[in-house]
Every structure is written in C-alpha cells, then in structure tokens.
Amino acid sequence: MSAAATQALPPLRSRILCTVEFEVAGGLIAIGSSPFGDQRLGYVTGGRFYGERLNGTVLPGGGNWSRSGRLGDAAAVGTFDARAVWQTAGGALIYVTYGGRSVIPDDVRAAFADPSAPPVDPARYYLRIAPVFETADPALAWLNGVLAIGVGERTDFGVRHVVHEVL
C-alpha cells in the first residue's frame, strides 16, 4: 500500500460502549499443560454490564478457555477464547464472544496468587480483549456490526473490562 493510500484512511477512533464485570466465583479449572500450552477454564457465574447504551446482567454459564505460556524470562503470556450471554435490562439477549491477550509479569502473577496481597495496579499488566456481539433484538441490531476492544483488570470477583466500540 502506498503512503498516499495509507494517509487517506481515517484514523482509528473509539468510544466507550460499556463496562462489563464477569464473576468467576467457581475459580479456575486447571486442565493442564499439553504440547499447546497450559490450558484452563474460568467458568462465568454471573456479572453485569453498564453504560450509556447497554445495561444488564451477564448470565451464568459462559466461560473463558485460556491458554498460557512464557514471554521471555520474566512474564507469562496468555490467549483467551471466551463466550458469554448478556441479558439487557429490557430482556434482550446478546451473545458475546472474544479473543484476547494477556501479559503478566512474574511478580504480578505471584501477587495474584497471594490472597493477602493488596490489589495490583492494572497498569502493571496487559489484559486486552476484542469482543463481537450477536443479537436477534431489532432495537440492538446495530451491535451486530460492532467490533470492540476491551481493556481489563483482575478483580476480587473475576475480571472487569472497559469496552470501547471501534468507530
């Protein structure tokens, strides 16, 4: 692609779509290490999402099948393969899938494993998702065309993502 064609493309912009809080009350199920990495499942037991255009609850039953490995000598790297169903305050159902990446330095990972450790500043680790949405509700049909990016943090109940709609 030429420099002129690249300059003609609009800049990437976003706006906040919502914040979502996934509860993972059952903890993580360690499936174990295979030739493809260390696999585990975080079962979603509930949660909520809120924003100017979307509000409701995360239904129990979804999950995140994550895989991790090493990124250099001092950090773990992970991938996500997650699915969940959200229900709006008006009763509409939204099927949400996302992939993503995490980079967790070893000292942060140790703090996560210590229940007596204070919360870790999310600026010290990388947690990003790319959700897509599917709904049959006519009032939310616009969601079927949205690609989003989420910036996440670990919480005492699971994980919280601030989700940005890519414009």
Q: 24-47: b or e for each residue (b if 16 or more CB lie within 10 Å)?
A: beeeeeeeeeeeeebbbbbbbbbb
Amino acid residing at 3: A
Third-level CATH fold of 13-166: Porin (2.40.160)
105-110, Cβ contacts within 8 angstroms, sequence gap of 24 or more: 105/74, 105/75, 106/74, 106/75, 106/76, 109/76
C-beta of residue 152 within 8 angstroms of C-beta of residue 127: yes
Take residue 104 and report the two structure tokens written for it: 């967790």
- In this prediction, residue 146 carries a pLDDT of 97
Look at the block and give the residue holding tokens 């906040």: 16
Tell me, yes or no, if the pTM score tops 0.85. Answer: yes
Take residue 143 and report the two structure tokens written for it: 């969601």
Each residue's pLDDT, cut to its tens digit, for the chain (167 residues) gives 567 666 788 899 999 999 999 999 877 889 999 888 899 999 999 999 999 999 999 999 999 999 999 999 999 999 999 999 999 999 999 999 999 999 999 999 999 989 889 999 999 999 999 999 999 999 999 999 999 999 999 998 999 999 999 99
The structural domains of the chain, with segments of one domain joined by +, span 13-166
Question: For the chain, how far is it from start to end, CA to CA, in angstroms?
Answer: 22
